[in-house]
Amino acid sequence: MKLVKSLSTVACVIGLSLASTSPVLAASSTSVVGTWRNHVNWNCNTAGSTPITAALFTINADGTWSYPYGGGNWWQEEGLVIISFDSYPTLQYVGNVTKDAVVGIQGYSDNPGSRGCFYLLREQAGKASDVKHYVDGKDAVTNR
């Protein structure tokens, strides 16, 4: 799996093909910057499975994010966000951003059987003017 440096081109993220979008956050888009409560379900395709409440994610305006066990980089293109992990470079979360929630899928590119779904609920609002879409042109998967 390779994530291209610009989200305005087609990217392949955990088997999901993303359509080309505008290279900037639209004025009407909601910024993902802020603190979010993570809810994950690695078995969301299994009947009766329920999400678990995980740690808080702090998403910073500089394109980085953190939680008590690590962090990584994030990119937002209008209403779509991609979150990568420094300590697990093949793991990515991809979700749709609304005012107070992000809903999406997550998975490991090197293990197709390890996929799931997640949602984030906003704890405190960020400002759209703080959004940075790319981190020095670094690849989302390798941070290089």
Cβ–Cβ under 8 Å, residues 135 and 64: yes
The pTM for the full model equals 0.68
Distance, in Å, from the CA atom of 64 to the CA atom of 76, rounded to the nearest integer, reads 12
In the predicted model, residues of the chain with pLDDT beneath 50 are 1-25, 27, 126-136, 138-144
Q: What is the pLDDT of residue 125?
A: 52
Provide the strand spans (E) within 1-144.
11-13, 16-18, 34-41, 52-59, 64-67, 70-77, 80-85, 91-97, 101-108, 111-124
Q: What is the pLDDT of residue 120?
A: 94
